[in-house]
Amino acid sequence: MSTAVTMVRTQKEEPAYKRIQSAIRQRIDSGELKPGDVVDSERELARIHGVSLMTARHALADLAQEGIVERRHGAGTFVAPPQIHFNKLLSYTEQMASLGLTTHSRIISSVIVTREHEIAARLGLSPTCRLIRIERVRSAGDEPVALEICYLSAEEFQAVMEIPLERTSLFGALERECGIELAYADEEIDATHADHRMARLLNIPAGSPLLRIRQLIFSTKGRATVYVTGLYRSGRHTLRIRRFR
């Protein structure tokens, strides 16, 4: 005579506020909800999911903290624009592609300069050497989100002046056209405010907060190659530091 033993596994049910968050994320990921669209109110979410108002409020508060939604007092909750997370050396084009966004650039100026003594020294060049200076407004979709100024040796990288950087990555162009592969950067990060010119180029009010990142970018051979000052709209960018093991 044999005895059959049935093992019944009980699985802890996902918290109700997590289920609400998963449902909202799924609607965003599928494209049903797009940046700027209204998200169901706390009361409506409580009704749909059969939970308390406090649970619905918890779900939205967590999503807002993560930057997934924006809560506007007196107006409601809306899908937030995607945020760009800085945690490894990527070109802006690569940053946008990682979020599934298209990017384009508007060239403000592309000139040769000779009086950027400090930047030349950072690049290990003679203080009076000729530098390429490229200033671009970087956009995600139709929205300007960053102002970047790049410096390179004019003697070594003259070919860059002929590359249509409105449509291509500077990192990619250096690799393809100049055989230079960029590897890592020393960065200085601080906060600043948009002056009238920056505000006009980024289509924001003068005095708006900006995240400023100054990068000295090195090649895989350890040579300082590019110096970049990036001014990023603070509401669209997040600096996330991770420890890799």
Q: Which residue carries 């603070």 as its tokens? A: 234
pLDDT in tens, 139-172: 877 789 899 999 999 999 988 888 888 877 888 8
Q: What is the distance between the alpha carbons of residues 215 and 230, in angstroms, rounded to a whole number?
A: 8
C-alpha torsion 140→110→129→181, nearest 10: 40
Q: How many structural domains is the chain composed of?
A: 2
Torsion of CA 103, 106, 108, 113, to 10 degrees: 60
pLDDT at 87: 47
Among 89-103, 176-190, 193-207, 214-228, the minimum mean pLDDT is found in 89-103
Domain that holds residue 192: 84-239
The tens digit of pLDDT for each residue in 21-74 reads 989 988 988 888 888 899 999 999 999 999 999 999 989 988 887 778 888 888
Q: Are residues 104 and 69 in the same domain?
A: no
16 contacts 49 by C-beta, under 8 angstroms:
yes
- Both structure tokens of 20: 């609400």
Amino acid letter, 41: S
Better-scored residue on pLDDT, 240 or 10: 240
Same domain, 142 and 65: no
Cα separation values, 236 from 84, 85, 187, 190, Å: 7, 9, 19, 16
pTM over 0.85: no
Sheet with 182-193, strands from edge to edge, namely: 103-113, 131-140, 143-153, 224-233, 209-219, 182-193
Residues 172, 140 share a domain: yes
